[in-house]
Structure 1
Amino acid sequence: MKNMTFKNKDLDVAADLYLPDGFDPARTYPAIVSAHPIGSCKEQTSGEVYGKKLAEQGYVVLAFDASFQGDSGGEPRYIEDPGLRVEDFRCAVDHLVTLDYVDADRIGVLGICGGGGYAVTAAMTDRRFKAVGTVVAVNFGRMMREGDLSPDAAVKMLDAVAQQRTAEARGAEPRVDDVLPSSPQKAEELGITGIDVVEATKYYRSPRGQKPNGVNRSLFSRMGPAVGYDAFHLAEQLLTQPLQIVVGGLPGEFGSYRDGFELLNRARSQEKDILVVPGASHYDLYWQPEATERALNALIPFYNKNL
Structure 2
Amino acid sequence: MKNVKIKAPYWEIAANIYFPENFNPAQTYPAIISGHPIGSCKEQTSGQVYGEAIAKAGFIVIAFDASFQGESGGEPRSIENPALRVEDFRLVIDYLVTLEYVDENRIGVLGICGGGGYALNVAMTEKRIKAVATVDAVNFGRLSREGFSQWNPLEKLEMIAKQRTAEARGGAKRVDSLLPNSVAEAESAGLTDIDVLEATEYYKTQRGQHLRGESKALFSHSAVSIGWDAFHLAEVLLTQPLLLIAGDKVGGFGAYRDSLEIYGRAASRQKELLIVEGWSHYDLYDKPEPVAQALAKLIPFYQTHL
TM-score range relative to shorter protein:
over 0.9
Q: d(CA) in 2 for partners of 1:228 and 1:99?
A: 36
Q: Structure 1, residues 146-181: CA drift from partner, whole Å, max 9, x if none?
A: 137876x11011111111101111111110001111
Residue of structure 2 in register with 1:28 after alignment: 28
Give the letter for the 2:64 counterpart: F
Q: Does 1:180 align with 2:179?
A: yes
User: Deviation at 1:78?
Assistant: 0.4
Which residue of structure 1 aligns with residue 91 of structure 2? 91
Aligned to 1:292: 291
Question: What is residue 206 of structure 1 aligned with on the other side?
Answer: 205
- What is the distance in 2 between the residues matched to 1:122 and 1:228? 17
Whole-angstrom distance in 1 between the partners of 2:96 and 2:41: 20
Shift of 1:63: 0.1
Q: Is the 8 A contact 1:34 1:46 kept in 2?
A: yes
Residue identity opposite 1:85 in structure 2: R
Aligned partner of residue 129 in structure 1, secondary structure: coil
- 1:261 is matched with 260
In 2: Cα distance, 1:127 partner to 1:42 partner: 24
For 2:204 and 2:149, locate their aligned partners in 1 and report how far apart those are by CA, in whole Å: 27
**Contact 1:25–1:101 under 8 Å retained in 2:** yes
Would you say the 8 A contact 2:39–2:215 is kept in 1? Answer: yes
Q: Is the 8 A contact 2:181 2:200 kept in 1?
A: yes
Residue by residue over 1:236-279, the C-alpha shift from the partner in whole angstroms, topping out at 9 and shown as x without a partner, is 00000000000101111000001000000000000001000001
User: C-alpha distance in 1, partners of 2:242/2:260?
Assistant: 12
d(CA) in 2 for partners of 1:150 and 1:15? 34
Distance in 2 separating the partners of 1:216 and 1:231: 20
Q: How does 1:106-185 map to 2 (within 5 A)?
A: 106-147=106-147, 153-185=152-184
Q: 8 Å contact 1:147–1:154 — kept in the other structure?
A: no
TM-score between the two structures when normalised by the length of structure 2: 0.98
Gaps of at least 5 residues in structure 1 are none
Q: Does 1:77 align with 2:77?
A: yes
What SS is found at the alignment partner of 1:33?
strand
Shift of 1:7: 2.0
> Counterpart amino acid of 1:51?
G
Deviation beyond 2 Å, 4+ runs, structure 1: 147-151
In the alignment, which residue of structure 2 is the partner of 1:44?
Answer: 44
1:4 corresponds to:
4
Sequence identity (%): 58
1:57 paired to 2:27: no
The Cα shift of 1:56 comes to 0.2
The one-letter code sitting in structure 2 at the alignment partner of 1:222 is H
**Counterpart code for 1:285:** L
- 1:238-257 residue pairs with structure 2 within 5 A? 238-257=237-256
Pairwise CA RMSD: 1.0
Given that 1:161 and 1:220 are in contact with CA atoms closer than 8 Å, whether structure 2 keeps it comes out as: yes
Write the distance in 1 (CA, Å) between the matches of 2:288 and 2:204.
19
Do 2:147 and 2:252's aligned partners in 1 also have CA atoms closer than 8 Å?
no
Shifted more, 180-189 versus 113-122: the winner is: 180-189
Q: Matched residues in 1 for 2:235 and 2:249: separation?
A: 27
TM-score of the superposed pair, with normalisation by structure 1: 0.98
Please state whether the residue corresponding to 2:280 is helix, strand or coil: coil
Do structure 1's residue 17 and structure 2's residue 20 form an aligned pair? no
| Deviation of the 1:184 alpha carbon | 1.9
Structure 2 contact 34–63 (Cα < 8 Å) conserved: yes
Deviation at 1:190, TM superposition (A): 1.7
1-structure distance, mates of 2:162, 2:148: 19
Q: Report the equivalent of 2:276.
A: 277
Q: Distance in 1 between matches of 2:297 and 2:195?
A: 23
Alpha-carbon offset, residue 136 of structure 1 = 0.4
CA distance in 2, matches of 1:243, 1:218: 30
For residues 32-63 of structure 1, the C-alpha deviation after alignment (integer angstroms, 9 at most, x for no partner) is: 00000000000000000000000000000000
Contact 2:38 2:215 in 1 (8 A): yes
The count of residues paired between Structure 1 and Structure 2 equals 306
Alpha-carbon contact 1:8-1:87 (below 8 Å) kept: no
| Alpha-carbon distance in structure 2 between the residues aligned to 1:274 and 1:260 | 8
